Amino acid sequence: MDGASPVGAAPLDRRELSRVLGRSVGTRAHGSYALSIQQEGRMAPLRKGINALVEQFNASSEVKVAVKQKAERTAVKLMDELGPTKAAIASVADEFLRLGRNVTEVSLCISRVHPRIGQLKDLIVEAYPISPGDIGVLVNGRARGFKFHPNGLYTNLRVPLFVSDGGALLELSNARLTRNGYDQKRAAALGQSRLLITADERNFELFKVLEEARLRGGPVANRADLTGALRKYSISKLPLTEHLLREAGLLQRVSAEYAERYAAKAIDGRGRSPKKLAEEAVVEACESVVPVELSDLTVQKHHLRPSAMRSLVVKGELDHWQG
């Protein structure tokens, strides 16, 4: 139904639209139609970008749907300032950070679509050869390409780093470090030819995108509040519930699901207390992860009253769950 355009779909003029609809179309109605076509044209690449990013994360289908919806609403506000690509990256990253994911994980997932997000600033190392031959660089035992240029008696190496290199061991072959020949904020010497790499979130490309979004009036996740609430209402403070989940081999999975569900609820708490949100989240997490048959067998094994349980959550413990 759209007219031809060298740059994509264009809205029909009033005469064409009237002919298609079989009735006359007023100026106001045609203006609304044209605006909707233009907005849809702008939204298509944004939605495509958001969908591609969200699918890189390990999360339930319900969480992914919620993230896509919320990220789209945020990205629309940022798109004019940042463009569709950065708007999609910032909005999706922000949603997963709110769900308790760390910056390294979020960066790695997004870098599968946008490799630059997984890169860090190159590490400059000053070294000197200890014998004739080429200098080599290993990161966690694997050869890493690098650039170099002579600097008198020494050689400056420019080594590319990635977010996954945090805590990695960098080793020089056929070379030794000069004294203070590296950025001590980004690496620590473990000998004459070895460095331990530290990955500061502030050097992440993702951090720069989020900061740019913040300066344009966009959101930046406050993980401190979320982390504090999850620590305050931890499953470890429900001792029997924790024991039953650990015995079932599902404590780790339920804990992860609980954190994800609590974070999602906290974004739109609708005035409910953190304790109420935590109670709902832990019950929903258990019911989602623990099979009903396993729950029933566990309750019978420990001679617990079914009416006192919600899946493997002991309801009496929730009543006394103190932060």
- How does pLDDT run across 159-186, given as a tens digit for each residue? 999 888 888 999 999 999 998 899 888 8
Burial of 20 (0-12, 13-18, 19+ CB in 10 A): exposed
Residue closest to 281 by CA, chosen among 81, 85, 17, 99: 99
Q: Does residue 13 form part of some domain? A: no
Residues 183 and 136 in one domain: yes
| pLDDT reported for residue 104 | 83
CA distances from 89 to 86, 92, 187 (A): 5, 5, 28
267 pLDDT band, cuts 50/70/90, is low
Closest alpha carbon to 30 in 42, 46, 12, 43 = 12
Claim to verify: residue 293 and residue 260 sit in the same structural domain: yes
pLDDT for the residue 269? 59
Q: Which residue has the higher pLDDT, 249 or 232?
A: 249
Q: What are all long-range contacts of 141-145, with beta carbons under 8 Å and residues at least 24 apart?
A: 141/169, 141/171, 144/170
d(CA 285, CA 256): 9
What is the C-alpha R_g of the chain?
Answer: 27
Share of the chain above pLDDT 70, in %: 84
The confidence score (pLDDT) of residue 12 equals: 64
Distance CA 128, CA 124 (A): 13
221-247 pLDDT tens trace: 545 456 677 778 889 899 999 999 999
Ranges 91-100, 191-200, 223-232: which has the least confidence: 223-232
312 and 230 within one domain: yes
Asked if residues 110 and 80 have their Cβ atoms less than 8 Å apart, the reply is no
Q: In this model, does residue 262 exceed pLDDT 50?
A: yes
Q: Please indicate, yes or no, whether residues 138 and 199 belong to a single structural domain of this protein.
A: yes
Q: Which residue has the higher pLDDT, 20 or 220?
A: 20
pLDDT of residue 22: 78
Q: Quote the pLDDT of residue 55.
A: 96
Q: Is residue 186 part of a domain?
A: yes
Q: Of the residues 203, 237, 267, which one is the last residue of a structural domain?
A: 203
Would you state the pLDDT for residue 284?
Answer: 93
Task: Out of 29-43, 113-127, 224-238, give the one with best mean pLDDT.
Answer: 113-127
Please report the pLDDT score of residue 56 as a whole number.
95
Looking at residue 79, its pLDDT comes to: 84
Distance (Å, whole) CA 75 – CA 213: 10
Q: Which tens digits make up the pLDDT trace of 48-72?
A: 999 999 999 998 888 899 999 989 8
93, two tokens: 């990253």
Q: Which residues pair with 32 in a beta bridge?
A: none
- Which residue range is the domain that position 163 belongs to? 123-203
Q: Stretch 190-218: mean pLDDT, rounded?
A: 81
Residues 304 and 256 in one domain: yes
If you average pLDDT over every residue of the chain, what do you get?
A: 83
DSSP class of residue 23 equals S
Complete DSSP assignment for 249-305: T-HHHHHHHHHHHHHHHHHT-TT--HHHHHHHHHHHHHHHHS-HHHHHHHHHHTT--
Look at residue 83 in the predicted model and tell me its pLDDT: 87
- As a whole number of angstroms, the distance between CA 280 and CA 269 comes to 11
Co-location of 231 and 184 in the same domain: no
Q: Are 231 and 303 members of one domain?
A: yes
Under the banding of pLDDT at 50, 70 and 90, the label for residue 39 is low
Of the candidate ranges 81-95, 208-222, 227-241, 268-282, the one whose mean pLDDT is the lowest: 208-222
8 belongs to a structural domain: no
Q: Mark whether 244 and 274 lie in a shared domain.
A: yes
- DSSP for residue 102: -
Which pLDDT band holds residue 156 (cuts at 50, 70, 90)? very high
Decide if 92 is inside a domain: no
Tokens for 239?
């001792």
> Is 193 a domain residue?
yes
Q: Are residues 300 and 239 in the same domain?
A: yes
Confidence of residue 217 (pLDDT cuts 50, 70, 90): low
Count the neighbouring beta carbons within 10 Å of the beta carbon of residue 50: 25
- Asked whether residue 130 is assigned to any structural domain, the reply reads yes
Q: Are residues 195 and 274 in the same domain?
A: no
Residues 235 and 314 in one domain: yes
Whole-angstrom distance, CA of residue 223 vs CA of residue 97:
7
**How many structural domains does the chain have?**
2
In a domain, 212, yes or no: no
